[in-house]
Amino acid sequence: MTESPLRFVDEYRRPEWIGPLVKEIERRAEGRIVKIMEVCGGHTHAIYKHGLEDLLPASIDLVHGPGCPVCVIPMGRIDDALAIARQPDVIFTTFGDMMRVPGSRGSLLDAKAEGADVRFVYSPLDALKLARQHPERPVVFFAIGFETTAPSTAATLLRARAEGIRNFSVFCNHVTIVPAIKAILDSPGMQLRGFIGPGHVSTIIGLRPFEFVPERYGLPMVVSGFEPTDILQSIVMILRQLDERRPSVENQYARVVRRNGNSGALAVLGQTMELRPYFEWRGLGFISHSALKLRPEFGDWDAEVRFSVPGVRVTDPKACQCGEVLKGVIKPWECRVFGTACTPDRPIGTCMVSPEGACAAYFTYGRYSLMKQAGVEAPLEP
């Protein structure tokens, strides 16, 4: 199916494709427990939106990784964003899901209610447009995301410099996926047997950065698309690798992903950004060279240079177990506050805020059936 002539979304959801894949998974997984981590939050949502976990045998244990960029931002960085947003005359721009992420002093939505000029945008170019329209005011873009979204920030920085727009700046929180996967693999007691690799990130960085997974840890990784047949076929490919004892990086998402990635996107990243020595991840702590910052030559467009930020580490609320969810240690419904004190309308942790968050996926698509299977009383319907 990797080289199939399928062209439309509904073709990737047909029962005649799904049935044989499920049967092969059942046959290959019989008699053993296979714990597989889907790295990307987009895969988590696809799994529960389409009910794939209900199709899989109990021996396939899917756990959720740190592939949601909103979810991994620590509270201290949210406090830094709030400090910038509350500066006089600042127009602070961000993607919509970041508006509700809680810091220790509220969220950006709270800051907006208190009078700060916080606006959600669809891209950094929207923020740059605001800077053109308001040359007398500083406009800051809250840049988040993995390598998938970083090139759009980089291209916007190049345009801002080319046009001489100096009231625009970026609060850079872009992170990189490979160090996070290494941190997961080095965590004790994970017992993973394979990875469903991130399709969106791989469109930028390609397959080669993941080769350390089979080479160093002896585990298969299959970069996957996001439709039901994509994910099921990726599980089949992982099981085949395990059966044949040939761990490698395979590309199920060949219709989009190329081995060497997107050279143009990587080039603009190299022009504008460099690796940070350390960056804190929610649930994973400080990981070296796991995030990006602006190069010194873009200091005039760097919000961390232009504004004073607290830069203080803030611990997560004790009730929230988002960190354990991001590491795949627990399922979202095993968190003490899931679906009761913590819901999408009133989130305590980031995993319940983002559309890619595992807790939001369980809450929206699968929590009641899964909790019933586990013998846990489900909370009231929202």
**The pLDDT of residue 1:** 46
**The pLDDT of residue 322:** 83
Average pLDDT over residues 268-288: 93
Query: Residues 2-20: pLDDT tens digits?
Result: 445 566 666 777 778 899 9
| pLDDT of 97 over the 60 cut | yes
- Domains of the chain, earliest start first: 11-68+178-200+211-251 (3.40.50.11750), 75-175+291-306 (3.40.50.11740), 322-373 (no CATH)
pTM of the model: 0.88
- List residues bridging with 292 in a β-sheet: 275
| pLDDT of 128 over the 70 cut | yes
Q: What sign for the dihedral angle of Cα 240, 331, 177, 365?
A: positive
Task: Look over the chain and give the mean of its residue pLDDT values, rounded to a whole number.
Answer: 90
Average pLDDT over residues 141-170: 97
| pLDDT of 372 over the 50 cut | no
**The pLDDT of residue 380:** 41
- How large is the C-alpha radius of gyration of the chain? 21
- Give 370's Cβ-side CA count (13 Å radius): 24
In 3-state terms the chain splits into helix, strand, coil percentages (rounded to 5) of 45, 20, 40
Average pLDDT over residues 173-199: 93
Query: Residues 308-331: pLDDT tens digits?
Result: 898 888 887 788 888 888 878 888
CB 348 within 8 A of CB 342: yes
**The pLDDT of residue 9:** 67
**The pLDDT of residue 366:** 63
**Residue 131 CB neighbours (<10 A):** 22
Query: Residues 349-364: pLDDT tens digits?
Result: 888 887 778 888 888 8
Helix/strand number for the chain, H first, E second = 16, 13
**The pLDDT of residue 7:** 65
**The pLDDT of residue 339:** 84
Contacts for 266 with CB less than 8 Å, ≥ 6 apart: 151, 204, 205
Share of the chain above pLDDT 90, in %: 64
**The pLDDT of residue 367:** 53
**The pLDDT of residue 311:** 86
Average pLDDT over residues 197-225: 97
**The pLDDT of residue 283:** 78
Average pLDDT over residues 356-378: 64
CB 132 within 8 A of CB 165: yes
CB 152 within 8 A of CB 123: yes
Per-residue confidence band for 263, with pLDDT thresholds at 50, 70 and 90: very high
| pLDDT of 370 over the 60 cut | no
Quote the Cα angle for 88-92-96, to 5°.
150
- Which of 1-10, 158-167, 254-263, 319-328 has the least mean pLDDT? 1-10
Per-residue confidence band for 342, with pLDDT thresholds at 50, 70 and 90: confident
Using alpha carbons, list the distances in angstroms from residue 86 to 90, 110, 282, 300.
7, 11, 24, 20
Question: For residues 195 and 71, what is the distance between their CA atoms, to the nearest angstrom?
Answer: 19
| pLDDT of 379 over the 90 cut | no
Grouping H, G, I as helix, E, B as strand and the rest as coil, residue 280 is: strand
DSSP one-letter code for 35: E
pLDDT, greater one: 254 or 377: 254
Question: For residues 72 and 281, what is the distance between their CA atoms, to the nearest angstrom?
Answer: 5
Question: For residues 284 and 114, what is the distance between their CA atoms, to the nearest angstrom?
Answer: 32
Rounded to the nearest 10 degrees, the angle between the axes of helix 150-163 and helix 124-133 is 20
**The pLDDT of residue 4:** 52
- What does 123-168 look like in DSSP terms, one character per residue? SHHHHHHHHHH-TTS-EEEEEEESTTTHHHHHHHHHHHHHHT-TTE
Q: What sign for the dihedral angle of Cα 96, 99, 100, 103?
A: positive
| pLDDT of 230 over the 90 cut | yes
pLDDT, greater one: 106 or 366: 106
Contacts for 341 with CB less than 8 Å, ≥ 6 apart: 319, 348
Share of the chain above pLDDT 70, in %: 93
